[in-house]
Amino acid sequence: MAIEIQPERAEPTGRGPEAAGGRPWWQRPGVHTGLIGAVAGYFLGHWLGNMLGGFYARSSLADTNDVAIVLGYTFGTIGWLAGLGVFNDLLGTMLGRPLPAHEMGRTEPGLVKYFQFTLNHKVVGIQYLYGMIAYFLTGGLFAMAIRTELLSPTYHIIGPEQYLMVVGEHGTMMMMMMSSVVLGPFGQYFGPIMIGSKRVAFPRLEALGFWLTPAAYIILLSAVLMGGFPTGWTGYEPLATQATQGMDAYFFAFGLMGISMILAGFNMIVTIINYRAPGMRWSRLPMFVWSMFGVSFLQVLAVPVLVGACYMALTDRTFQTAFFTNQLGGSSYLYENLFWFFGHPEVYILALPGFGIMSEVISVFCRKPLFGYRVMVAGVLGVGILSFFVWQHHLFDSGINPDMRPLFMLTTELISIPTGFIFLVAMGTFWRAKIRFTIPMLFALAFYFNFLIGGISGVFVSDVPADTTEHGSFFVMAHFHYTIMGGLIFAFFGGLYYWLPKMLGIKLNETLGKIHFWTMFIFFNSTFLPLFALGIMGMPRRVFEYAHNLQTLNVWVSISAFLLGVSMLIFLINFVMSVTFWRVRAEPNPWRARSLEWQLPTPVPLENFMRVPVILSSPYDYGDPNALPVADLNPPPGVIAAAYAPAATGLEA
C-alpha cells in the first residue's frame, strides 16, 4: 500500500494575504463566477445550436430543435466549470504558472470555501451534504404535489401531462440524489480518515464530481420550463423520442450525474487500495469502508452504461442517429436493457452504503464487536457481484424471451442469500446486547425493520407469475420505497445524527431529533404500507385517475405523506437552528466509539493527522478489556519511513 509522508503544516488561521489569496472573495473563482459562466455558455451554445439546426430537418418526433437545447446545456456546463476555476490549475500548469493552494480554495477562511472548487476532501463532503439535502427537499416537494393530486379520483388540480411531469421530476430527482447521498457526504469526508489517510487519491476529480451535481440539478429543474418529460425516471423509448425538449434536460442531467458517480467511485477505489495506513489490513477495514469499496466498483462498472444510454438517446433526438428509434431501425428494447443493466446494480449502490453506516452505528451502541465480520464482508461482495445478473427481471413484461425468465428469476432470488448474511450479522450483534437507544440507534432499528418488509415484498416481484400481475402497480412502488427510502434514507439520517458532531462540531437538539424519528418512522409506514393493498386492488402507477372504491385508502396515504413531510420540516428546523443559532459544541467523541475518525480532535485538522497513524487493532473490539487502542496517532516518523517509501506530497489530480 502507498503511504503519504508529508511535512507537518499548521492549519491556516484564515487571516492575512496568504489565506485570502491577496484578493477579496468576489474577485476569485466561486459559485458567482460559475453562474456567470453558465449563463454565458448556455446562450452561446443555444445560438450556435440554432445556427446548426437550420441545416437539416428536425429529428425529434416532437418537431423541436433539440440541437440548440443540447448545445446550450453543453456550453453552459463547461462555462459553469470554467467559472468555478476547475481548469485554472490545469491551464496554469500548461503555461508554466501553477496556482498556489489558496487559489484552489483549499485554505479559504469561513464559509467562502464551501462555495469554491476546493481540494480538501472534508470540505467536499460538507458541500455534498448541503447539495444532497437540496436535492432531497426538492424531490419531496414534488412528492407532496403527487399526493395532493391523488386525493380525489375525479377532481384534478393539474392536467395529465403536468402530472406525468411531476412524477418524472420527483423520481429522477430522488434517484439522482440517493446515488450520492452517502458516498458524497460521508464517504468523501470520513473515507480517507477511517483508513488513516491524509487525503484522497485524486482530489481534483473528487471536487469535479461534486460540482457536476449542481449543474445536473439546475438542468433537471429546467425541464419544467419546457414541458417536462412524460417517461418517469426511466426515460423509456419510444416515448422519449416523441417527448418535448424537457426530455433533453432529463438525459443530459442524468448523464452528468452518472459522470459524477463514476469519478467519485474511481477516486474512492484508488484511495482505499493505495492510501491505507500501516497496519490497516483488509481484515481491519471498517464495514462502512467496505461498503464504499463495493459501491465504488458498482459505480465504475455499471454507471458508464447509463451514461452511454443517455447520450445515445440524445443523439437520436438531435443528430438523427437511430440507436433506439424503432421507425429508423433502432430498438427500444436495447434502451431498456442498457438502462436496467445500470438500474439494478443501482439498487445496491443505494442499499450497501446503508448497511455500512448501520454496521458502524449498531456496533457502537450495542458495545459489541460485529457478529461475523467476515461473513458481512462476503455478503457485501456477494451482493455486488450478483447485482449484475438480475437486470432482466425488470423486463418480465416487456417481451423478454420466455426461456430466459426462469434464469433471471433464480438469480434474483439468489441475491437474497448474501443480503441475508448482512441482515443476520446485524441480528447477531443485537443478540444479548446492552443497547443504548440514542437517535442514531433508533434509525438503525427502523432501517432493519423497513428493509425486512422491502425484502419480503421483493420475493413476490421476483417471481414471474406474481410479477406479471403486480408489474406497473402500486405494489411495486411500495416495494422499492421500502427498500430505498425505508432503507437508505433512514440510514442517511442515522449517519447524519451519528457523524454530524464530528463533521460540523455541533450537536443537534436531542428532543427534536427523537420527535423527528418517531414522526418519520410512523408516517413513513402509514404512507407506504397501504400502497401494497392498493397495488393488489389494481391501482396502476403514473395514472392520476383511479376507481372510486380506492379513494379512502388514497386519502389516508396522502394525509400520511403530508405528515411525513412535516417530519422532514422538524429535521430541517433542528438542523438550521443548531447550525446557525444554538451551536451546542460537541465533544470530540460523544459516543465513545473506537473507529479512527473519533480519535481525532473536533474540528478535524486540515490534513487529518499530524503523522500517518499506525493501526493497532480492529475498530470493533468493544467489550474487550485487553483490547489495544485502535491506532497510534503519533508514531516515530523514522519507523514509518523505514517501512514505507514516501508517496508524492503534491495534490495532483
What is the mean pLDDT, run by run of 10 residues, along the chain of 653 residues? 42 41 70 96 93 62 74 97 90 74 54 89 95 96 97 92 95 93 93 95 95 97 94 92 92 97 97 95 96 96 97 91 89 94 92 95 96 95 95 88 91 94 95 95 98 94 90 94 95 97 95 98 98 95 93 97 98 96 93 95 91 93 90 77 43 35
Residue 20 is predicted with a pLDDT of 44
Residue 45 is predicted with a pLDDT of 95
Classified as helix, coil or strand, 198 is coil
C-alpha cell at 500: 454530524
Q: Is 3.30.565.10 the CATH classification of the domain at 119-598?
A: no
Give the dihedral sign, CA 614/619/621/622: positive
CA distance 384 to 422: 12
In eight-state DSSP terms, residue 181 is: T
Assign residue 419 a region (left: φ > 0; alpha: ψ between -120 and 50; beta: otherwise): alpha
**Structural contact between residues 96 and 69, judged by C-beta atoms closer than 8 angstroms:** no
In eight-state DSSP terms, residue 118 is: -
Taking CA 460 as the corner, what is the angle to CA 454 and CA 462, rounded to the nearest 5 degrees?
Answer: 95
**Structural contact between residues 390 and 411, judged by C-beta atoms closer than 8 angstroms:** yes
Stretch (H or E) spanning 260: helix 246-274
Domain boundaries, given as residue ranges, for the chain: 21-113, 119-598
CA distance 240 to 334: 14
**Structural contact between residues 95 and 82, judged by C-beta atoms closer than 8 angstroms:** no
Amino acid at 429: T
Residue 398 is predicted with a pLDDT of 84
**Structural contact between residues 323 and 334, judged by C-beta atoms closer than 8 angstroms:** yes
DSSP letters, 65-110, are -HHHHHHHHHHHHHHHHHHHTTTHHHHHHHTT-PPPGGGGTTT--T
Phi, psi at residue 287, to the nearest 5°? -65, -30
- Which candidate, 158, 323, 315, 165, places its Cα nearest to that of 246? 165
CA distance 126 to 264: 15
Counting beta carbons within 10 angstroms of the beta carbon of residue 387, is it exposed (0 to 12), middle (13 to 18) or buried (19 or more)? buried
Residue 110 is predicted with a pLDDT of 74
**Structural contact between residues 584 and 578, judged by C-beta atoms closer than 8 angstroms:** yes
Give the dihedral sign, CA 285/286/290/292: negative
Q: List helix spans (H) across 462-550.
A: 464-470, 474-483, 490-503, 510-536
The 10 Å CB-count burial string (b at 16+, else e) for 523-540 is bbbbbbebbbebbeeebe
Phi, psi at residue 631, to the nearest 5°? -160, 155
Q: Which residues contact 155 (CB under 8 A, 6 or more apart)?
A: none
**Structural contact between residues 412 and 462, judged by C-beta atoms closer than 8 angstroms:** yes
Residue at grid coordinates 480492529: 618
Residue 113 is predicted with a pLDDT of 86
CA distance 380 to 373: 11
**Structural contact between residues 342 and 303, judged by C-beta atoms closer than 8 angstroms:** yes
CA distance 387 to 416: 11
DSSP lists the bridge partners of residue 646 as 3
In eight-state DSSP terms, residue 598 is: G
Residue 11 is predicted with a pLDDT of 41
- Which candidate, 588, 589, 645, 587, places its Cα nearest to that of 612? 645
Amino acid at 57: A
Q: List helix spans (H) across 504-611.
A: 510-536, 551-577
Residue 108 is predicted with a pLDDT of 60
On the CB side of 630, CA atoms within 13 Å amount to 23
Q: Which residues contact 281 (CB under 8 A, 6 or more apart)?
A: 615
Q: List helix spans (H) across 287-397.
A: 287-318, 332-366, 373-386
Number of helical (H) and strand (E) elements in the chain, helices listed first:
22, 4
CA distance 50 to 42: 12
- Which candidate, 440, 441, 448, places its Cα nearest to that of 424? 448
DSSP letters, 388-457, are GG-GGGGGTTTT--GGGHHHHHHHHHHTHHHHHHHHHHHHHHHTT------HHHHHHHHHHHHHHHHHHH
